[in-house]
């Protein structure tokens, strides 16, 4: 992400299928643009259009070193394999270029479309994190902890 990407991000986070999981679009833009150390955010483009956003964070403590991924894809681009392709591309970079042996992702436990996309790349369910995240509806929702070892990455 670069200064000036806010309008494209707002379009992503205003999509009802994205806002359902991320909440207030304006807050999501501010949070994304103010990356903390170890976080990187990228726009996903397809055919010259911005279709989503993908981000990663890295745990640098040598005893727990790994990276996590999160993604949002606008509704008109969902179900076309573009999300899994973006995840796979970022995963390859994190594994092959940065040397991570393990990646994590933590979708809402009831976000079945996202879970299917992550499984296509090679992520496996580790377990349910009960009342893990407060959703935009103000209620606590379970999260699904998923991870993937470097050798499990699928093409």
pLDDT tens string, the chain, 155 residues long: the values are: 888 899 999 999 999 999 999 989 999 999 899 878 889 999 999 999 999 999 999 998 999 999 999 999 999 999 999 999 999 999 999 999 999 999 999 999 999 999 999 999 999 999 999 999 998 888 999 999 999 999 999 98
* pLDDT confidence of residue 137: 86
Instruction: Quickly count: other Cβ atoms within 10 Å of residue 122's Cβ.
Output: 21
Which domains are present in the chain? 6-152 (3.40.630.30)
CB 94 within 8 A of CB 59: no
* pLDDT confidence of residue 37: 81
User: Nearest 5°: CA angle at 13, between 129 and 85?
Assistant: 70
**Two tokens, residue 4:** 């000036």
φ, ψ dihedrals at 78, nearest 5°? -75, 155
pTM: 0.92
- Where is 19: in which H helix or E strand? helix 16-22
CA 123/CA 7 separation, integer angstroms? 31
* pLDDT confidence of residue 5: 92
């Amino acid at each position: 992400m670069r200064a000036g990407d806010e309008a494209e991000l707002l379009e992503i986070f205003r999509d009802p299928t994205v806002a359902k999981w991320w909440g207030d679009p304006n807050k999501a833009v501010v949070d994304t643009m103010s990356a903390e150390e170890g976080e990187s955010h990228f726009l996903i483009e397809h055919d010259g259009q911005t279709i989503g956003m993908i981000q990663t964070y890295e745990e640098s403590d040598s005893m727990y070193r790994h990276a996590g991924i999160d993604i949002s894809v606008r509704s008109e681009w969902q179900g076309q394999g573009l999300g899994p392709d973006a995840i796979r591309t970022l995963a390859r970079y994190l594994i092959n270029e940065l040397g991570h042996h393990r990646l994590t992702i933590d979708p809402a436990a009831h976000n079945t479309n996202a879970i299917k996309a992550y499984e296509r790349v090679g992520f496996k369910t580790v377990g349910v994190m009960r009342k893990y995240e407060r959703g935009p509806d103000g209620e606590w929702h379970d999260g699904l902890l998923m991870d993937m070892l470097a050798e499990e990455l699928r093409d």
